Structure 1
Amino acid sequence: MYTFVKFGGSVITDKTGREAADVPVIEALASAVAAARAADPSLALVLGHGSGSFGHHYAARYGVHRGTPLDADHTGFALTAAAALRLNRIVVDALLAAGVPAVSLQPSAALRSANGQITDWETTPISEALKRRLVPVIHGDVAFDTAQGTAIISTEALLSFLALRSPLQPRRIVLVGEAAVYTADPHRDPSAQPIPLINRANIGQVLAGAGESRAADVTGGMRSKLELMWRLVETVPGLEVYLIGPQPALLTAALLGQPLASGTCIRQ
């Protein structure tokens, strides 16, 4: 069984800026991953990250997520891909510096989509990396789309594909971003309360109250992420999804399956 982890774009960058990487946070999260691997050498990780203020800026500016006709100018596609790779290099280099044998695997080089949904993705290199005790690092990326020309594939969509349509069935998915799922937007409503557990009893109510991202996010914001994670929990036996803040000790504990002092768990 495998553990998937995502560093949210809003955590590792300032999404209201432009290509503004938060290097101290990235380095702290990389150290947390290293600590978890040291504590459990059998830990098999697939790590993904969002594009934050890197890819989202160009994707929104050029409408890459809405599609680009085949005979149109694809400069925006190229700029978005390049920006995502610049952030990916920062993340992978931080992991390597922390002692994590991370290897970058660019999704757009091996997948296609239709209407923004992945249709096929050659994931063998990810499996081969894991066999060698490497940590494959993927990221939200552009895609060539057979229906609309171009698309943006979120990190959650990539992890979902791996969970449902590859041999890499996860036991745990850890999303590092907001401190938890809340009853309302905590940035706007000071009375918002964290929801420690989401299951069949309250998923409908939670989705009804989930909002969109406050900054440019061409992948849909919190509600779409929750909907996708809930579908995974319903489909993958025994899967648990954790949404946690970027505290390094919290990430290490989540990766090791230890009790968490805060955050939200999604399970059946």
Structure 2
Amino acid sequence: MEIVCIKLGGSLITDKNKPYTARPQIITQLVTELKKAFQDNPNLNLVLGNGAGSFAHQSAQKYDTYNGFSTKEGALGACVVHNDAAKLNSILVEECIKQELPVYSLQPSAMMLANNRSLSDSYWSSLNVLLKKRIIPFVYGDVILDTSTGSTIFSTDTLFRIIGTYLKEQGYTIRMIHVGDYSGVLDKDGQVISQITPDTYDSMKDALTSSESTDVTGGMKLKVEEMIKLAKKGVTSYIIDGTLPGNISIALSSRSVGTQILSTNAS
């Protein structure tokens, strides 16, 4: 069975230059596309995720939650960031339910534990149950409790790498689609790089730049590096422009769009 993990990027679903500002028209468009794809293909199995955008990135930077806490202020900050992340996810879930797309929010911090900013324990039985019932699990970047530092943050890109690895080990075929407000990964001349592989990535690193807006989880470079890790395990990923209606359907059909991160050069 194939499972497609689709991330709705924070820069797409929020205005990252205006704190706590969602983009409802874009969210409605994306959910409409996802609903049609899910209804039209009874064999389509999805896991959804969303970035933090102008919600949790703002508070995470303020409290430096990624690096943990040792004070009461830092502990409160971790709670604030965790709540901010959940708020944005709830906006997306509300739209899905409104359009009768069966999604179920899974709180990553309730299923994962870290030690020194690395995953130390996880529980995925709920994910398996939802997939078997054809209910779409919906995750999001979250504050993860850390037995060493108090807290850290796992971005949705990191979560998808962890989830993708787990599901592949369970025997599923996995694909990743990252939906943003950009055409794909750009080269130094501003042209879309159609394909990246583990072999070609080193020569392209300099082309990856950080977002101008606040992103405490590493921006495009970390996104691609997480996909490269999956590519080494045989998982293909797409980075596509979600502002263009129809791009999600194109990627779901495995046609060329945006940037593909592959295990080997396609011929």
> TM-score scaled to structure 2, two decimals?
0.92
- Superposed CA deviations along residues 86-113 of structure 1, whole A, max 9, x for unmatched, are 1111101111222210111111112111
1:242 aligns with 2:238: yes
1:66–1:28 CA distance, 2 compared to 1 (3 A): same
- Aligned-residue identity in percent: 31
Structure-2 separation of matches of 1:126 and 1:217: 27
C-alpha displacement of 1:170: 4.4
Deviation digits for residues 173-196 of structure 1 (CA, Å, limit 9, x no counterpart): 000012110003xxxxxx411111
Q: Which runs of 5+ in 1 are unaligned?
A: 185-190
Question: Where in structure 2 are the equivalents of 1:44-193 lying within 5 Å?
Answer: 44-69=45-70, 73-166=74-167, 167=170, 169-177=172-180, 178-184=182-188, 191-193=189-191
Q: Aligned pairs, how many?
A: 258
Q: Trace 1:34-53 onto structure 2 (pairs within 5 A).
A: 34-53=35-54
**CA gap 1:125/1:168 in 2 versus in 1, 3 angstroms:** farther
Matched AA of 2:205: L
| Aligned-residue offset at 1:54 | 0.6
The Cα RMSD (Å) is: 1.6
Per-residue CA deviation, residues 143-183 of structure 1 (Å, 9 max, x unaligned), is 11122111011001111111223437442100001211000
TM-score for both structures, normalised by structure 1: 0.91
Match of 1:188 in 2: none
- Consecutive unaligned residues in structure 2, runs of 5 or more: none
1:265 equivalent to 2:260? Answer yes
d(CA) in 1 for partners of 2:99, 2:72: 45
Q: Secondary structure at the match of 2:239?
A: strand
Tell me which of 255, 260, 266 is aligned to 2:252.
Answer: 255
8 Å CA contact 1:44–1:130 kept in 2: the answer is yes
Structure 1 runs of 4+ aligned residues shifted over 3 Å read 70-73
Q: Which moved more, 1:174-183 or 1:160-169?
A: 160-169
